Amino acid sequence: MRPEGDSGGRSLSRRRFLAGSSAVAVGGIAAGITADRARGTESSTGVPLVALGTQPAGLPARQHAWVATLSVDEVGDPIAPRFDRLLFFDVVGTPEPAYARLLEAALRTLERRFRWGPGGLLFTASWSPAYFQRVLGTRSPIPVATALSSFESPTIDHYHLCLHFACDDEERLAAVEGALVNGASLSGADGTLAISPALRWRETRSGFTGKGLPAAHQDVRGIPPGRPVSRQSPLFMGFKSGLRKNQATEDYVTIADGPFAGGTTMQVSYMRLRLESWYGMLDERERVARMYSPETTPAQVRHITTDAEGDPGLIEEAIHRYGVIGHSQTSALARRHGKPLIIRRDFNTVDGGYAGLHFASVQRSIEDFVLTRNAMNAPGAHQENLAITATVNNGINEFITVLKRANYVLPSRASRSFPLLPGGAALT
C-alpha cells in the first residue's frame, strides 16, 4: 500500500462527518467485537486482541520530530501544517496490555496509510497527570496545570490522553477522527482504527494557520465587522509567529534521560481572542508596539525573517518612555543564552463560533513553559509606570482570555501507547 501524499479538497464539517458515519460505525464496532468474542480473541476486559502491524521504516524515534518534514517559505522559515485537531480521551476502566496494543495498532495503521509529514499526516500521543495518578496510581512525571497570572482563571483539563493531528488537508483530519472515535472506514487503511473499547472520546478542538485561512474564517464573534484580518495574515492577530530563531530546536526540547528519554512535554491552552479593540481602537503602529515593542516600526515588521523584533534590553525604555511593553519583548526575557525554551505549535480556531487560539507548545519541561508564560506578565512594570497594568499596555494580555489549560508528557514513539502500564511496553 502506498502512503498518501498531498491532497486538497473542500472542508468537511466534523459534526456532519461524524453524524453521517456514526450509525454504521457503531454497528461495525459491535459486530467486530462480537466476532472477536466468538473466536476468543479479546482480553479479560472485553478489549479486542488485535494484530499489531508493522511500522514503516525511517520514522523518527521522537514523536515530536516534525520540523524536518516541513516546507519553508521564501526566507527559510518553516511553514506549519495548515490544519490541526486535538482529540481528548479518557481511559475506559482499568487498563491492561490489550489497551496499549489496540491504541498502538491504530497509530501504526495511520503510519502505514499516510507518509510522515504535513502532506500526509503528523501526530503525537501525550498523557496527562490524571493518567498517571488516577489510572496507574503512580506519581506523575509532570505537574498539574495551574493559572499563571492574576487575571486568568482557566478550567484545568484532566483528560487522560491527547492526540494531536496535523496536516494540510482538513478533510483527512475529519476522516481520521471518524475512524478512531466511531470506527468509520478509512479509505486505504489495512488495520483497525477503532480505539473506543479502551479510550472514551471526550472533546475535539480544531483549527488552522496559514495565509488566507484566518481571513476566510473571520466572520465570527471576537472579530469586529469590516473584515480587518488581511488575506496575507497567517493568524487572526495579523502577524507571523513561526520564525526560525524564536522557536527552540527539537533537540533542545527533548528529554535526555529517564523513562521518557527521547520524548518531551506538551502544554495545551485554549484562549479566546477579543479583537474588537485590537482592530477597532488601535492603528497598525499601536498593534506593532504591543506585539513586538514600541521601538519597532511597521516597516521593520514587514521585513522580519528569522526572529521577532523586540529587544528585551530596551524594556526599561519601553516602560518609562512609551508606557507600553511588547509581547515579543517580554517573552524574550525567558530565553536561555539568547535561545527560546519552547516550540510553538499553536493554531487559530473558530470553535464555538468565537475567534480563538489553541496554544500548543512542546518543551523539555513544563517549567520551561511556565517561565516563558510568566515572562509575558512583565511583573513589576506597573510599579515603574502606572500606565502599565497586568493587561493594559502590556503585550497582548488584554486581548486573550485563557479558558482551558492542561499539561502532558509526550513519550518517544516506542513508548507512546499507555506509557508505564505494566506489561504494556511489550508491543511486538
Q: What is the pLDDT of residues 132-141, one digit of tens each?
A: 999 999 999 9
Q: What is d(CA 161, CA 125) in angstroms, rounded to the nearest whole number? A: 7
| pLDDT category of residue 17 using cuts at 50, 70 and 90 | very low
Which residue, among 1, 132, 81, has the nearest Cα to 344 in the 3D structure?
A: 81
pLDDT score, position 231: 95
Which residue, among 209, 195, 261, has the nearest Cα to 61 in the 3D structure?
A: 261
Q: What is d(CA 297, CA 292) in angstroms, rounded to the nearest whole number? A: 9
Tell me what the pLDDT averaged over the chain comes to. Answer: 88
pLDDT at 19 over 70: no
pLDDT score, position 235: 96
Parallel, antiparallel or unpaired: strands 264-273 and 356-363: antiparallel
Answer yes or no: are the C-beta atoms of 331 and 359 closer than 8 Å: no
Percent over 90 (pLDDT), the chain: 75
pLDDT score, position 76: 84
- Is the model more confident about 423 or about 44? 423
Interval 158-199: pLDDT, tens: 999 999 999 999 999 999 999 999 999 999 999 779 999 999
DSSP for residue 314: G
pTM score, whole prediction: 0.89
One-letter amino acid identity for 235?
L
Q: What is d(CA 318, CA 316) in angstroms, rounded to the nearest whole number? A: 5
Q: Where are the alpha helices (DSSP H) in 5-96?
A: 14-39
pLDDT at 314 over 70: yes
How large is the average pLDDT for residues 226-254? 90
| pLDDT category of residue 428 using cuts at 50, 70 and 90 | low
**What is the torsional sign of CA 30, 31, 34, 40?**
negative
pLDDT at 18 over 70: no
Question: Under 8 Å CB-to-CB from 55, ≥6 apart: which residues?
Answer: 108, 111, 112
pLDDT score, position 30: 36
Answer yes or no: are the C-beta atoms of 84 and 164 closer than 8 Å: yes
pLDDT score, position 424: 65
CA angle 11, 13, 17 (to 5 degrees): 115
Q: What is d(CA 261, CA 124) in angstroms, rounded to the nearest whole number? A: 15
One-letter amino acid identity for 405?
R
Answer yes or no: are the C-beta atoms of 385 and 253 closer than 8 Å: no
pLDDT score, position 379: 86
Task: Give the DSSP H/E element, type plus range, for residue 330.
Answer: helix 327-331
Q: What is d(CA 172, CA 151) in angstroms, rounded to the nearest whole number? A: 38
Which residue, among 169, 170, 197, has the nearest Cα to 183 in the 3D structure?
A: 197
| pLDDT category of residue 307 using cuts at 50, 70 and 90 | low
Burial 149-160 (b: 16+ CB within 10 A, else e): beebebebbbbb
